[in-house]
Structure 1
Amino acid sequence: MKLLIATTLIWSFSFSIIGNVISSAVDSWSLAFYRSLLGFIFFLPWIKKSKISKYQFKLMPIGALQIGLMYIFYLSAFNFTTVPRVLLFTTTTPLYIAIADSFVTKKFRSSIYFLAFFSMLGALLIRTTYFDQDDLVGFLFIQCANICFALGQILYKTHKMKNNDDTDIYSDFAFFFFGALLVSCGGLLISPYSLPLSLGIIDVIAILWLGIIATGLGYFMWNRGAVVVSSSTLAVTNNLVIPLGLFVEVLFFSNNAHLELLVIGTCIIIASIVSSLKIDTN
């Protein structure tokens, strides 16, 4: 659980950095490539040719789905809508995790759906706003991203629990990120934009943060944390980034927020996490 919370704190800055700091010269396809590439390079030194296993190769399609494909949808949404609305549109992730868990494990657990809806309610209370046609396009992109991320989390969790062998976990994530890198390379090939190579210092610093810290370290910690909690706890914890991300947006980028609703919604999300942890204990 500590790993999930630590990762959430890191990710709470990512939304605002993408929406407010990185210049328009860096398109979503290129940013997805840079983030996947830096994540792969971060773990590349741990690969040992003599210890490569089939288990590690199976991590590649999981990384391709959870990060590679998800990034293309997620980052494209910022071209159509604002940071607060992107955060709002991610509220459905717990529901997709519940559905993915039922699909992968072939078990229906009513508690995970109840807690997922409870967490979604808390997240929806935080932000009420009007939408236009561009926001609808952004919403659809984020829903595709949410589905990829949710299914990727459950697939990694079940794959790791079934194959909890002695492979080096750092080496594992080199394969995980290589799968993501393959998808982002494919995205570049069909992208109407060319890869920006001449970047300002602010863009470089932001991309390094997003690639090494938020992507490389962040997804390593998140997936490691996902293995040791229940799917219910994993589902509801996904929405904790929403109030924290909005807090960062308000604090550093002067966006308005309904503080009363922010507090109430945050309390509901935290209550859903605590309830899930108590159910796990019992």
Structure 2
Amino acid sequence: MSLLLIVSVLWALSFGLTAQVSGLGAPFVTAVRTLLAALVFLPFLNLKGMAPKRVAAFAAIGALQFGLMYLLYIASFRWLRASEVALFTIFTPLFVTLLGDLLERRSTGRVRLAVAVAVLGTGICVWPGLERTGLLCGFLLMQGANLCFALGQVLYRREAPATGRPDRELMGLLYLGAAALTMAVAAPWIQWHQVAALSLRQGAVLVYLGVVASGLGFFLFNAGARRTDLGTLAIFNNLKIPLAILASGLVFREAIDWPRLALGGVVIGFALALNGFSGGRP
């Protein structure tokens, strides 16, 4: 559980930082993040004795959990503020529990109730901005990203123990799958003169997002996911939200309606409690 807590702190600044480079385009930023993360763990990659089908399966999990997720996530910044992006990740733990229950053929009635309560809490937080153009599009992009991230977590948690390998030997394979997907998507859109014109600040932000937030962060998160139950994993998916919104308001000076956010947060917290009760079984 301590690993998941560390990651939540690491990710607190990533929403605001991602907003600062999202103008470079979701495909480019995603490709850089996943490629840097792959390079970090490439020295630890060990495929010896691993069946080709299993290699392909983990690469596919990485392409889903990191590659497609980031493409959708970064694209949402075109329509959403960083604090809104952070808030809309609220549904990830509900997806984690729902998908885990479906794969394990368990009852999901309480999860549906938790989803409804979380929708109410999110609505309280964003109701004044519902008339804003593009808000719905950004919201839907974020839910696609949440679903990809949740499914990747559940699949990795199910498949990794069977390999008998430590997480550091598997993460490079996941990142390579993500990098292959994102590089293929980004290649037709990359304008090299824009890449050459990157500022030092933009370069530093991309390195932090790729090496620390993505590389180290997802390694620790997936390692923690293997060592905890679904309910705890689901709840820790959302610990980053209050931290990220605080960072958006205090560090990046984004305008935030604190009373409304607090009220919505209380309702969302209740949804998390419901979700924890439904997903806390080992």
TM bracket, shorter-chain basis? 0.7 to 0.9
Which residue is 1:14 aligned to?
14
Which residue is 1:85 aligned to?
84
Paired residue type of 1:215: S
Q: Render the CA deviation track for 1:59-101: whole Å, top value 9, x for unaligned.
A: 1100000010111111111122221222233222233223322
Compute the displacement of 1:5 (Å).
1.7
Query: Aligned partners of 2:124 and 2:201: how far apart in 1?
Result: 34
Compute the displacement of 1:112 (Å).
4.3
Which residue is 1:138 aligned to?
138
Which residue is 1:237 aligned to?
236
Paired residue type of 1:96: F
Compute the displacement of 1:136 (Å).
2.1
Query: Aligned partners of 2:174 and 2:4: how far apart in 1?
Result: 18
Secondary structure of the residue aligned to 2:147 is helix
Are residues 118 and 223 of structure 1, via their aligned partners in 2, closer, same or farther at CA, if it must alter by over 3 Å? farther
Quick check: 1:67 aligned with 2:66?
A: yes
Query: Aligned match of 1:39 in 22, 34, 37?
Result: 37
Query: Aligned partners of 1:266 and 1:218: how far apart in 2?
Result: 24
1:105-124 equivalences under 5 Å are: 105-115=104-114
1:191-270 equivalences under 5 Å are: 191=189, 196-266=195-265
Query: Aligned partners of 1:201 and 1:235: how far apart in 2?
Result: 37
Secondary structure of the residue aligned to 2:128 is coil
List alignment gaps of at least 5 residues for structure 1. none
Query: Aligned partners of 2:5 and 2:18: how far apart in 1?
Result: 21
Query: Aligned match of 1:181 in 154, 171, 179?
Result: 179
Secondary structure of the residue aligned to 2:164 is coil
Compute the displacement of 1:133 (Å).
2.5
List alignment gaps of at least 5 residues for structure 2. none
Q: Is 1:96–1:146's contact at 8 Å kept on the other side of the alignment?
A: yes
Compute the displacement of 1:187 (Å).
0.9
Normalized against structure 2, the TM-score is what?
Answer: 0.85
Q: Is 2:117–2:268's contact at 8 Å kept on the other side of the alignment?
A: yes
Q: Render the CA deviation track for 1:123-168: whole Å, top value 9, x for unaligned.
A: 555554313222222122112111111111111111124x1x4323
Paired residue type of 1:258: D
Are residues 236 and 205 of structure 1, via their aligned partners in 2, closer, same or farther at CA, if it must alter by over 3 Å? same
Which residue is 2:166 aligned to?
168
Q: Is 1:119–1:269's contact at 8 Å kept on the other side of the alignment?
A: yes
Query: Aligned partners of 2:125 and 2:239: how far apart in 1?
Result: 11
Q: Is 2:15–2:82's contact at 8 Å kept on the other side of the alignment?
A: yes
Query: Aligned partners of 2:281 and 2:22: how far apart in 1?
Result: 46
Paired residue type of 1:191: W
Are residues 233 and 168 of structure 1, via their aligned partners in 2, closer, same or farther at CA, if it must alter by over 3 Å? closer
Paired residue type of 2:178: A
Q: Is 2:231–2:278's contact at 8 Å kept on the other side of the alignment?
A: no
Query: Aligned partners of 1:65 and 1:278: how far apart in 2?
Result: 25
Q: Is 2:96–2:151's contact at 8 Å kept on the other side of the alignment?
A: yes
Compute the displacement of 1:227 (Å).
1.9
Identity %: 27
Which residue is 2:26 aligned to?
28
Query: Aligned partners of 2:244 and 2:260: how far apart in 1?
Result: 14
Compute the displacement of 1:113 (Å).
4.3
Compute the displacement of 1:117 (Å).
5.0
Q: Is 1:120–1:239's contact at 8 Å kept on the other side of the alignment?
A: no
Query: Aligned partners of 1:92 and 1:271: how far apart in 2?
Result: 13
Stretch moving more, 141-150 or 165-174: 165-174
Compute the displacement of 1:7 (Å).
0.9
Stretch moving more, 206-215 or 149-158: 149-158
Stretch moving more, 99-108 or 39-48: 99-108
